[in-house]
Amino acid sequence: MSSVPLLAFEAIEKSFGAVRALRGVSFELRAGEVHALLGENGAGKSTLIKVATGAHAPDAGHLVIGGRRLARLDPASARVHGIACIYQQPALFPDLTVAENLALRLEPPQLARRVDRAGRRRRAAELLQRIGAALPPEAEVRNLSMPEQQLVEIASALGAGARIVIMDEPTASLTQREQVRLFQTVRTLREAGAGIIYISHRLDEIFELADRVTILRDGASVGTRVAGELSEAELIRLMVGREMNSLFPPPLGPVGDTVLELRAVGCRAAGVRDVSLTVRAGEVLGLAGLVGAGRTELAGVLFGLTPADAGEILLGGRSVTIDSPRTALAHGLAYVPEDRRRHGVVLELPVAQNITLAAHRTLFPGGWLRSGVERKLAGEFIARFAIRTAGPGAPVASLSGGNQQKVALARWLATAPRVLILDEPTQGVDVGAKGEIHRLIRELAARGLAVLLISSDLPEILGMSDRIGVMRGGTIADVLPGTAAAPEVMAAALGTAGKGAA
């Protein structure tokens, strides 16, 4: 193997106005390695990717590709030099087939020529086969799942001769089975001599895939280490610049009386059936299960998005009908949805307006908005949740993912709920913000809230739950103690364990 790195960053500097995004970042990517790039949100990872792909020109420093030093790149020359980026949201044409999408990426533009459709299909089939993707070349992209679209992007990179592949949060929306397939593809690329820069907030992926790790903090490279020589605690300390006592803080108070009880609740439209469950004041009840098990659908039923058509819902021992989000709010339920950018926050609105949006009827009973009241309440939540923002008037779009999630949480807590439903509350946020959100959840439970925590992150379920409800096929398969181990949860999710009591 050549000792010359495929790609090297040499003292890269980049500023946007008064903000220094990159402060002399240096590291090397070798052929045949997976090199993880880690750091909290705002550490400079996205800016560095844009420098590597030619979207941004560095203010100082150089890129070295295959031993050749370059002052800068543009996107076209980056592709010529064999650099490809696989983003979390693939940029494909949904109305075209797989073969047509690949052809647009790989065929040189010509004004007039005969289209060799059979040749396109053969080439697409060959590229897909090389990465182990069983996709028909004639399939329309709109009918493909997110991971299948990512495989098309990888096939495109392979067909273009990419030797430097950047993967930015590639597993954020994948199921566990789809992650396994992606990991196999990454290893195939590595064995073929490609270098992969792999960005993820999921530390278990880093230890499974990465050969080396480079950590960014506040725009600077803290260092490059061999992944196998780092513990999770050391990695977190390098990323956040401080010791974290625990990513999963212990309960802060006792569990009280039952607040929410479900008796054989079902909703045919949502695929939810015969759900019986209790959640108590001061309790964090984790809701686990494989993708498609019905966890998010159950949350929608409880919040009135798809009202129950069977069974009974009781709040504080009283039977209630929840037929809309408005009635859910009136009964003291709050729901922080999975997709915060689409449903959790309004990116164009200021922080203050986002925080008060769900509580308008309480805050402004006469229908007249009072900016002083709004800013005061927003300021209290900004301080309480340590939301990093320029102020209540700053647009939410300017905040990091973790701080956007805190704003989404503050919005619903402003309604003074009794039951808080959290769907994937730490998805896509960095490890420091994840620890802060977990601390907030524990504090809220200690104040008497009943918390229903939905998460696909099994360590989060195990670390944060007082009890664990496991869903399978739209119903509760088992309810386990918070001390349950991962194999017990997975056995219940897969249907290889007996049913316990709710």
Q: What is the DSSP string of 63-99?
A: EEETTEEES---HHHHHHTTEEEE-SS----TTSBHH
pLDDT at 224: 95
Expressed in angstroms, the distance from the first to the final Cα of the chain is 58
Q: Which residue, 10, 35, 36, is CA-closest to 24? A: 10
Q: Which residue, 346, 308, 344, 315, is CA-closest to 330? A: 315
Contacts of 107 (CB under 8 A, 6+ apart): none
Residues linked to residue 260 through DSSP beta bridges, in sequence order: 279, 315
Give the E-state strand segments of 191-322 in sequence order.
195-199, 212-217, 220-226, 258-267, 272-280, 284-288, 310-315, 318-320
Where do the domains of the chain lie? 7-240, 244-332+418-425+448-502, 340-416
Q: Which residue, 36, 48, 462, is CA-closest to 235? A: 36
CATH number belonging to the domain at 244-332+418-425+448-502, selected among 3.40.50.300, 3.40.50.150, 3.40.190.10, 3.30.70.20: 3.40.50.300
pLDDT at 500: 44
Q: Please classify residue 259 by burial: count the beta carbons closer than 10 Å to its beta carbon, then call 0-12 exposed, 13-18 middle and 19+ buried.
A: buried
Cα 29 from Cα 445, distance rounded (Å)? 45
pLDDT at 225: 95
Cα 321 from Cα 310, distance rounded (Å)? 11
| Helix, strand and coil in the chain, % to nearest 5 | 35, 25, 40
pLDDT at 99: 94
Long-range contacts of range 222-229, CB-CB < 8 Å, 24 or more positions apart? 224/27, 224/28, 227/36
pLDDT at 194: 93
Residues linked to residue 65 through DSSP beta bridges, in sequence order: 7, 68
Q: Please classify residue 279 by burial: count the beta carbons closer than 10 Å to its beta carbon, then call 0-12 exposed, 13-18 middle and 19+ buried.
A: buried
Cα 45 from Cα 184, distance rounded (Å)? 24
Q: What does residue 377 show for φ and ψ, rounded to 5 degrees?
A: -65, -45
7-240 and 244-332+418-425+448-502 share one fold: yes
pLDDT at 242: 62
Contacts of 60 (CB under 8 A, 6+ apart): 11, 12, 13
Q: Say if domain 7-240 classifies as CATH 3.40.50.300.
A: yes
Asked if residue 137 lies in contact with residue 125, where contact means CB atoms within 8 angstroms, the answer is yes
The three-state secondary structure class of 492 is: helix
Q: How many Cβ atoms are within 10 Å of 268's Cβ, its own excluded?
A: 12
Q: Which residue, 175, 182, 184, is CA-closest to 150? A: 182
pLDDT at 367: 66
Cα 244 from Cα 227, distance rounded (Å)? 20
Please give the C-alpha separations between residue 144 and each of 105, 139, 141, 186, 285, in angstroms, as whole numbers.
18, 8, 5, 20, 34
Cα 469 from Cα 480, distance rounded (Å)? 6
This prediction's pTM: 0.64
Which residues of the chain are modeled with pLDDT < 50? 1, 499-501
Residues linked to residue 226 through DSSP beta bridges, in sequence order: 212
Residue matched to tokens 């903000």? 19
Cα 21 from Cα 18, distance rounded (Å)? 9
